[in-house]
């Protein structure tokens, strides 16, 4: 089974209100840690969604790491993580569009792709339909 969510909670208050606990995960080979969420004295528990990439094999084990850090440091990490995640989304969507357009190519050269004028409407309909069935399908392609 795939691990989709991880729950973390405090059993008592942190000694300093400026501290928080960052929750990280990594699949085998346990090298690339990813921030999935944080808790602190204001938010004493959380259920964090784990998004595995296509490079992650179906893990039979994962490692969960926690670190006690200043809340500002955790916020900075979360902002950087979100930026990288949006970059990955853009790359995957563009890759999906390129592959779809390339499937219509009739030219003998790879430098020029000739496609029907309605290609973007068709691609968008197809993309939306796939998203309805699996919102993260593009992460798997």
Confidence of residue 107 (pLDDT cuts 50, 70, 90): low
pLDDT tens digits, 21-35: 999 998 888 888 888
| Predicted pLDDT at 9 | 96
CA distance 69 to 3: 26
CA angle 97, 87, 72 (to 5 degrees): 160
Model-wide pTM > 0.85: no
* Angstrom distances, CA of residue 73 to CA of 7, 52, 69: 21, 24, 7
User: Is the bond leading into 29 cis (omega within 30 degrees of zero)?
Assistant: yes
**What is the average per-residue pLDDT within 119-128?**
83
Burial per residue of 24-51, b for 16 or more beta-carbon CB atoms within 10 angstroms, e otherwise: bbbbeeeeeebbbbbbbbeeeebebebe
| Predicted pLDDT at 13 | 95
CA distance 133 to 53: 18
* Angstrom distances, CA of residue 124 to CA of 1, 102, 138: 32, 15, 13
């Amino acid at each position: 089974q795939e691990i989709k969510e991880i729950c973390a909670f405090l059993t008592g208050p942190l000694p300093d209100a400026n501290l928080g606990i960052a929750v990280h995960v990594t699949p085998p080979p346990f090298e690339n840690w990813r921030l999935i969420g944080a808790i602190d004295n204001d938010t004493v528990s959380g259920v964090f969604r784990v998004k595995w990439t296509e490079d992650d094999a179906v893990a039979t084990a994962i490692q969960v790491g926690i670190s006690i850090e200043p809340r500002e440091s955790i916020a900075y990490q979360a902002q950087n993580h979100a930026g990288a995640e949006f970059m990955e989304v853009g790359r995957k969507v563009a890759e999906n569009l390129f592959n779809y357009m390339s499937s219509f190519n009739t030219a003998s050269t790879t430098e020029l792709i000739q496609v029907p004028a309605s290609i973007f409407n068709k691609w968008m309909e197809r993309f939306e339909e796939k998203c309805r069935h699996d919102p993260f399908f593009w992460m798997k392609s």
